[in-house]
Amino acid sequence: MSALAGLRVIDCATLFAGPTASLLLGDFGAEVIKIEHPESGDPVRNHGYKKNDQSLWWTYISRNKKTLALNLGNSKGAEVFRKLIENTDVLIENFRPGTLEKWGLAPEELHKVNPRLIIARVTGFGQAGPYSRRPGFGTLAEAMSGFANLTGTPDGPPTLPAFGLADAIAGITTAQAVMTALFALNNSNSEAFGKGQVIDTSLLEPIMSTLGPQSLIFDQLGIKQKRTGNRTENNAPRNTYKAKDGKWLAISTSAPSIAARVMTLVGHPEVINEPWFQEARSRVAHADQLDTYINQWISQRDSVEVIAAFTEAEAAVAPIYDIEDLLIDPQIQARETITRVNDPLLGEVAMQNVIYQMSKTPGQINFTGRPKGADTREILEKFASLSPDEIIELHKAGVVFDANA
């Protein structure tokens, strides 16, 4: 049986952070009900690349989720939602603060219906503060967090990631917060024993937490970290290097022993005995010298030869992959990090597998993102106790969309 079998999750969130959280829960057996608007559907259905008029983002991020097309802003839709909440363990939403309250679905109202409900609220800047009602997107969090300011070359502009980094981090964080709240719910030593609670997650705070002790360093030393390109202020050598065959490689020497092995391998063991070589930060001051030695050695060899030599010397190196390289890598294949799943519209498709492996209760991808309203009838009959005639009336009124009507 799956780790989260019996856990019921309603996902009312759009785009990426909240849906990433529910994806992770669904991968490990939670029954996830994805709620989207009956007319427009979820925005991800029209996001990014498509094939056969289906968004490939939707195919991925809505896997293992049943779909219910329900208008929460309609009074009848809100009434149906309350019935669903009676039989729900976790609600994930990312409406702008005040939206649920406007619909009569504030957390305190939902807790009257289901006192054990865990409500995860994911927004750009959180439920409180002067920015709480601003539109919030991952790009803004990546900018404000300090991430973009640290990314790029010293003489170049701040650089944003080419993918939804802040959303992904916030989604993983939200899933972890949900599991913490569920543990507290069942922990007799917790103040929340037997009670639901509200989780307030922003896009900004989780990505800030990944940037290390910057606030501490500035507070205590007045130092602001600067852009260093592919180098780092913390150790050297650490950079990207181009091999003879045009392939790029990354090297990291966080441990002094690794730095010594690298310099021995590239033919300059004499630097190991220099006083400045013994500490990581003092090596940073000599990064140009170290990089010159490494570049000279790597540029004369193909990437395969470089990787083989580094591996034999137990020095740290990795190729810089694009997605095609990743798909054929033997480590990725051995662990099935990219797996193939059948999609009714697209056939067999490749996507990232579940995010971690468990020995007793492994995760599983049961199906890909489903058509809008594909499960409306099943969900409303089973969890809201509505009759087929009632569902038909709601469908006709535009409160729900039933793909099987």
Write down the catalytic residue from 11, 27, 42, 167. 167
Residue 67 per-residue DSSP state: E
Q: What is the pLDDT of residue 258?
A: 92
Averaged over 157-167, what is the pLDDT?
A: 97
- Residue-range domains of the chain with CATH: 8-210+356-401 (3.40.50.10540)
What would the two tokens of residue 141 be?
């969090």
DSSP letters spanning 112-146: HH-TT-EEEEEESS-SSSTTTTS---HHHHHHHTS
pLDDT digits (tens, 9 = 90+) for 354-377: 999 999 999 999 999 999 999 999
Q: Yes or no: say if 261 and 316 are a contact pair by the CB < 8 Å rule.
A: no
Q: What is the pLDDT of residue 256?
A: 86
pLDDT digits (tens, 9 = 90+) for 31-86: 999 999 999 999 999 999 999 999 999 999 999 999 999 999 999 999 999 999 99
Averaged over 378-394, what is the pLDDT?
A: 97
pLDDT digits (tens, 9 = 90+) for 216-260: 999 999 999 999 999 999 999 999 999 999 999 999 998 889 999
Handedness of CA 244, 245, 248, 251 (dihedral sign): negative
Axis crossing angle, helix 75-85 with helix 388-396, rounded to the nearest 10: 140
Let me know if 167 is a catalytic residue.
Answer: yes
Q: What is the pTM of this model?
A: 0.94
Instruction: State yes or no: pLDDT of 1 exceeds 90.
Output: no
d(CA 210, CA 310): 29
pLDDT digits (tens, 9 = 90+) for 284-313: 999 999 999 999 999 999 999 999 999 999
d(CA 112, CA 404): 33
What would the two tokens of residue 48 be?
């990014």
- Sequence-distant (≥ 6) Cβ neighbours of residue 284 within 8 angstroms: 231, 232, 233, 234, 235, 236
Q: What is the pLDDT of residue 56?
A: 98
In the predicted model, what is the mean pLDDT of the chain?
Answer: 96
Strand partners, 189: none
Axis crossing angle, helix 388-396 with helix 376-383, rounded to the nearest 10: 130
pLDDT digits (tens, 9 = 90+) for 111-143: 999 999 999 999 999 999 999 999 899 999 999
Longest dimension (CA), the chain: 84
Q: What is the pLDDT of residue 254?
A: 83
